[in-house]
Structures are given as structure tokens and as C-alpha cells.
Structure 1
Amino acid sequence: MKLLRYGDPHQEKWGILDAGGHVRTLDDALVGVTGDPLSPEWLAQLEALDPAKLSILKTGRRIGPAIPRPLNFVCIGLNYADHAAETGAKIPKEPILFLKSLSAFSGPYDDIVIPPGSQKTDWEVELGVVIGTKAAHVAEADAMDHVAGYCTVNDVSERAYQTERGGTWDKGKGCDSFGPVGPYLVTKDEVPDPQNLKLWAEVDGVRMQDGSTSNMIFGVRFLVSYVSQFITLHPGDIIATGTPAGVGLGKKPEPIFLRPGQQMKIGVQGLGEQSYKTIGG
């Protein structure tokens, strides 16, 4: 099942993608659905609906982030060996965790705003894991019981803010529009192996990243358990699981960074593709 959110920013409503690629609204159907959103019970009731009986969304409506604004937007740093190598970093012995500001949370087709004066805005396609039930100190064997599904994430990053301005990485990760999520939340039953998905990023039609989640250092199951030891995860929270090689910072002989007026596309196999332009802030 592919769920999505449509409508103006901060006023999005739930929709579902049918087999023919049409977005169906869930406004009326949700009146009879019980349980907490994204819980197994809630998802099972949506799965039982007949999409053909739901209204088709009118064209021209904005598709927003695939889930409501989360409580925690957790990111994993340097989780692909090839990405660590291209940035000159050592492979971490434990996952590197940081939190992305929720002001960065945005839709899969919303403009990417390059901050005023930025010279090093970069892209990072990532597999996003969406939590369905509260997870605190969960064992690795039980971790997947807390996962609702998966989505495409772009961990947009300003490298000078991230590494040249002192302190932690957060300065370069939380700018407005730096966290596109979606277009879909794909339930985990449709993704039997999250460790075998292709993911890619293109800028102005040029393929920049072309990787596979099979190359993660720390896999999804381990990450959900690991993060839950430090941060209680709540329904709708996202774990962005890291990016493969091919970011602008790692390009040779010189880094390549985003500038206003460019077109960017990123995608994860089976989870949909994001597409947006870059604009000046």
C-alpha cells in the first residue's frame, strides 16, 4: 500500500495511490477507521478499503510530505563505506546519529531553497524508515515490529555550515526545505528486503548517485534498535539511513554544489521519485 499526503503546507490530508497510479482521497473513509495513524491496526483497516470506491484527487493539488510532521527526524551519518571514503572519513564503529530540524521537513516536489550566501549546498538520497509504533530500548530481533514502512528522503546539506562553522553537523542539515520526504509511504509488506533497493540522484539530468542499500554499514533492523536505545521513537518518526557515494562534496577533481535554477531528481526503488528545482533564498 502506498499512502501519501496532499494539500497546502501544514494542512495536508491522507490519500492512497491505486493500482492505476491515481491518487484517491481518504477523507470520508477515515471517519470509520479506528486506532492511531500508522499503527498496524490502522494500516490494516486502510488495506481493506476498495480504492475504486474512493474519490480521485483533483489534478493540480500539491503532494506534500508522505507523513505528518514527525516528532523526531533522525539521520545516520557515514553509513555507506563508499560515501565515507569519498569524504575522507573513517568508517564508524557505531552509527553516527544527528537530528534534522523539523523546519527542514518538506514535500517531494517543493522547491529546495539554497540559503543566502551558501556556496556548498549538497544532495544526499536516502532510504527513510517510518516508525509505526512507539519504540524504546527495543531488541534487534523485535525492531521491525515497530516499522510502518519506507519512503524516499533527501538529506540536503550545506557543507560549509556542516563542517566549517564549528560545533556539530546540525547547522548544515536543518535549513528550510532541506528534508524532502516522499512522495509515498510504502508499507513494509511491499518492501520484503529493505537491504536490496537501488537509490539514485540526478542534477540537471546527470546521474550523480547510483547506489544500493545492500552497501549499508548498519542495516535497517539494527538501526531501529540502536536509535531506540537513545531516542524514544514515536509513530511517524523517520530514520534517514545514510547516503551512498556520489554527493557533490566527493566529486573529483573538484566538488560540485547546487546553485539556483537547477533541476534535481532523486529516488529509491519502489518508493517513488522526488523532483524539484533549486531557488535562491
Structure 2
Amino acid sequence: MKHARVAWSGGIHKAIESDGQLWLTQGPHAGRRVGFDEVVWLPPLAPVPQPRTVIALGLNYADHAKELAFKAPEEPLAFMKGEASLVGHKAMTYRPAEVKFMHYECELAVVIGRTARHVKKADAYDFVAGYSVANDYAIRDYLENWYRPNLRVKNRDTCTPIGPWLVDAADVPNPMALKLQTTVNGQVTQSGSTSDMIFDVPTLIEYFSSFMTLNPGDLILTGTPDGVVNVNPGDVIVTEIEGIGALINTIVAG
């Protein structure tokens, strides 16, 4: 099932997609069908709680590491993001006026479904609630170290669109064999597959849960393949993952 969270008619609602339609699922409007263009899309983290922790991966695709002239890492390279960086489907992302290079990153987002501590790879998928599409923007002007991007590179308000759906884990038989694609103004600029991750989803869950507790709603953004290009105000970016959804985002001047 595909879950969404939307603002409509003065309230915030959980919703699901069914037969190409959006249906509200809670409150006095439960069972009402609304148009995709009638709502404001929010980060789709219902029915799990909002995230306490957002973990993002750097250089988790060998082709992206090569693109940046780096050796592929031998263990996961991670950094943290704040919840304020998250925005929903069809939202605006601000590009600061002074920057020279800002790029998208199409990423599979893993949503933790239950408390995970010292999880083994063989059991890791049991702790996943579902998956979404994330666009993890980076501003290279502020970059000090690709291995540990500083806060101004990655942890900016509006710079992590996510959505439109949270797809139940049961409906994604193999998250490690999904095609990824990004278009800028309709032109394909990035393509790849989750099969090319250096550290797959079970490995990441085992690794992070070995030293920190993962809680329901926590997010793991799993990195991006090569093909990142500069984007400017007015550009419409669509990051799409097979079976998960197509996330639309527009760049505006900050």
C-alpha cells in the first residue's frame, strides 16, 4: 500500500493511493476522495511516527565515488540531518543567491518500523516499515570534505524533499533491484539501480544498529548514483524510483 500525508481543508490528513486515486483515511473526512492537485503534500511518514533521526549516506555508489574522484569507502560514510530539512512532494527548495553549484541526489529512503538495536543482516528487513523517494540536495560551494559534509552543504531547510508515498515494505519484494532516474526539466540526467549500492539496506541497518538505537520513523537515506548536475531557480526536478514513486520538486531563488 502507498501511504501519504497531506494538508487539505484546514487540516492534516493521512491518505492512501488506490486505483490511481487519493483517499483520506482518518477523521471526519475518512473515505473521501480528493484530487492530487487539491492537497499540499507533506513528508509521507504516516503511519509511523515522525523521524527522530535522519541518517544519510555519502559515496554509497561506486560510480558516484568515481565521479567525484574518490576511492569507494570501506565502511559506511554517514552524516546526520535535521527534520526541518524535509519537505514534501511538489514543494519548493531554495537555492541561496550566492551559490554556484547546487545539485540533486535521487535516493532510496528506508523508513524504520520498529526499535532496532544490534540487528543482524539476516533479520534487517523485519525492522523496515517501508520505502520512499528522497532528493538529498547538496551545495558544493560550502563543501569542506566529501567524507563528512558540513551542515551548510546538506542540513538546510527545504533541501530534502521526500515522497510522495511511503510504500509498505511488503509491497517492495526486492529493494536492492530498483531502477532510479532523475530528470531536470524533462531531460534525463541521472539513472542507476539500487543494486549498485556499495552497502545494501541490510548491511546499513546492521551497521547503524550496532552502536545506536534506530527508532520507528527514523530514516536512512541510502546514497545516489552518478549523474548529478547543477540546478537553478525555475528548474523542475523529478527523482523517481521504480515501484516507489516520482517525487517532483522545484528550485526557487532563496
When normalised by structure 1's length, the TM-score is 0.83
> 1:66 is matched with which residue: 44, 49, 60?
44
Q: 1:185 to 1:29 in 2, by over 3 A?
A: farther
Offset at residue 28 of structure 1 (A): 3.6
Offset at residue 225 of structure 1 (A): 1.3
The corresponding residue for 1:16 is 16
The corresponding residue for 1:42 is none
Offset at residue 54 of structure 1 (A): 2.0
Task: Provide, for residues 217-261 of structure 1, a one-character-per-residue CA deviation record: whole Å limited to 9, x for no partner.
Answer: 11111111111123311111110101001012xxxxxxxx11111
Offset at residue 164 of structure 1 (A): 7.0
Q: 1:168 to 1:246 in 2, by over 3 A?
A: closer
Offset at residue 115 of structure 1 (A): 2.0
Task: Provide, for residues 32-62 of structure 1, a one-character-per-residue CA deviation record: whole Å limited to 9, x for no partner.
Answer: xxxxxxxxxxxxxxxxxxxxx8221255111
Task: Provide, for residues 107-166 of structure 1, a one-character-per-residue CA deviation record: whole Å limited to 9, x for no partner.
Answer: 02101111231211111000010000011221222211110011100011111213379x
Q: 1:171-210, aligned counterparts within 5 Å? A: 171-210=152-191
Residue-pair matches, total: 248
Residues 1:237 and 2:215 are matched in the alignment = no
* Counterpart residue identity of residue 22, structure 2: V
Larger Cα-atom Rg: 1
Return the alpha-carbon distance in structure 1 between the equivalents of residues 31 and 149 of structure 2.
47
SS of match in other structure, 2:129: strand
> 1:247 is matched with which residue: 228, 233, 244?
228
Return the alpha-carbon distance in structure 1 between the equivalents of residues 195 and 180 of structure 2.
10
SS of match in other structure, 1:12: strand
Return the alpha-carbon distance in structure 2 between the equivalents of residues 61 and 129 of structure 1.
25
Contact 2:106–2:224 (8 Å) recurs in 1:
yes
Contact 2:161–2:249 (8 Å) recurs in 1:
no
Q: 1:1-150, aligned counterparts within 5 Å? A: 1-7=1-7, 12-18=12-18, 20-28=19-27, 54-57=31-34, 60-67=38-45, 69-150=50-131
The range that moved more, 100-109 or 182-191, is 100-109
Aligned-residue RMSD, C-alpha: 2.1
Contact 1:69–1:105 (8 Å) recurs in 2:
no
Give the percent of matched residue pairs that are identical in Structure 1 and Structure 2: 37
Segments ≥4 residues shifted beyond 6 Å? none
Contact 1:112–1:278 (8 Å) recurs in 2:
yes
- Structure that is richer in helix per residue: 1
Offset at residue 263 of structure 1 (A): 1.3
Offset at residue 276 of structure 1 (A): 2.1
Offset at residue 29 of structure 1 (A): 9.0
Offset at residue 83 of structure 1 (A): 0.4
Contact 2:112–2:130 (8 Å) recurs in 1:
yes
Residues 1:264 and 2:237 are matched in the alignment = yes
The corresponding residue for 1:215 is 196
* Counterpart residue identity of residue 55, structure 1: R
Q: 1:12 to 1:229 in 2, by over 3 A?
A: farther
Return the alpha-carbon distance in structure 1 between the equivalents of residues 97 and 118 of structure 2.
41
